Structure 1
Amino acid sequence: MAKKVKIDFNRVPKPVRYVIAIGLPLVILLLFFFIYYRPKSAEIKALKSEIQKQEQEITNAERKLAKLPELKAKYNVLVMELDDLKRQLPEEKEVSGLLKQVSDLGIESGLVINLWKPANKRVHSSGILYEIPVKVEMSGSYHNLGVFFSKLTTLNRIVNLKNIKLGRPRPSGKEAVLQIALDTVTFSAIPEKELKKMKKSKKKKRRR
């Protein structure tokens, strides 16, 4: 049977008693700090940081959600504008008919077509359209030219006139006749298959 050990603190020297009285609570306090408080404090700090992060994400999500109706409205407007633009763009097979229509309008306006020279189509800077330019030389009066420009605005297709050059007018009967040079440019949507080929070609060039 184990014997009970009794310590008579009265016999313990005073300095030792002071050390025990002060040191023991200090040891307990240090053990509490390192074993319990410090890990819990780090855990609390990490949780606070995570909460702040989640709060920021919630705030950002709420801002985006508030803008959602506005973004949807803008998107719908852009879709409508794109559909309207597509309706104004002829398919490539329709371009020759459109160009003939432009030529006929010039003749109907009293202009004489001296040159009608289509150039090779080229890809528009947008990357989704073909530009089909035609070099045109005509002769007629200012009035005839004004009528021609007015008739072009009635077309339901997009036709641009560029590089317009007017020569010196020459008297011809009651009106002065001038030489007119310009570039007629119309557009057609690039077919989906060709767009895919062009994108693949660009990717290959980037890899080189």
Structure 2
Amino acid sequence: MDLNDLDFENIGSWPLLHRVIFIISVCVILSGAFFYYVTMPQMDQLEQVKAKEVTLKNDFKIKAALSSNLEEYRAQMAEIKIIFNGLLNKLPSNAEVASLLDNISFIGANNGLQFKSINWGVTKDEELSTEVPISIQVIGKYEELGSFAADIAALPRIVILDNLKLTKANDELMTLNVIAKTYRYKESKK
């Protein structure tokens, strides 16, 4: 029988071999369409979910490691707060900044130095603090200048000596130009 002789309106009259081939062809086409339109998108979605699962597992491992050390982190945070508060207490308040000038003058006089000038500089706001510079020019012997610097460093408040410039005034005396910087904490020491 020739393919042109087959009647598509009456498939039941076809010979058995042709009916089997036709049914298998239709099943293959339907299976392919089902696989392409239904199964393939689900497989892509499955791959995405698997990738997300790996990411979530890694996140979980990181968080589990962090949470297993939570008490240690809390203890460290408490220790850091104590250290931070101790350092904050070393920063002068506004009233203490004003008396700092007197302290520096007293230390200089105690060490036998002559003050040529001592002036407030321009304050500089930084992220957490305000820098308060004091420009100092003193004359004295080398040892006296060294004692002066050591006594400034021994103050109970943080004072940093910056931009030190030492020049010879005469055979015995030297001139020290220095910027003494201290800081005020913006939030609690205003």
| TM-score, normalisation: structure 1 | 0.70
- In structure 2, C-alpha distance between the alignment counterparts of 1:98 and 1:141, rounded to whole Å: 23
Match of 2:175 among 176, 179, 183: 179
The residue aligned with 1:43 is 42
Deviation at 1:19, TM superposition (A): 2.2
Residues 26, 191 of structure 1: CA spacing in aligned structure 2 closer, same or farther, 3 A cutoff? same
Residues 145-179 of structure 1 deviation map (CA, whole Å, 9 limit, x = unaligned)? 111122122212111112222221524xxxx1222
Q: 8 Å contact 1:110–1:140 — kept in the other structure?
A: yes
The residue aligned with 1:151 is 151
Whether 2:73 is the aligned partner of 1:72: answer yes
The one-letter code matched in structure 2 to 1:101 is N
Length, aligned pairs only:
177
What's the RMSD between the two structures over aligned residues? 3.1
Residues 99, 65 of structure 1: CA spacing in aligned structure 2 closer, same or farther, 3 A cutoff? farther
Q: Percent identity, please.
A: 20
Q: Give the secondary structure class of the aligned counterpart of 2:133.
A: strand
Q: 8 Å contact 2:120–2:134 — kept in the other structure?
A: yes
Unmatched tracts of structure 1, length 5 or more: 1-6, 195-208
The residue aligned with 1:103 is 105
Deviation at 1:48, TM superposition (A): 3.7
Q: 8 Å contact 1:162–1:184 — kept in the other structure?
A: yes
Q: Give the secondary structure class of the aligned counterpart of 1:26.
A: helix
Q: Give the secondary structure class of the aligned counterpart of 1:167.
A: strand
The one-letter code matched in structure 2 to 1:147 is S
Unmatched tracts of structure 2, length 5 or more: 1-9
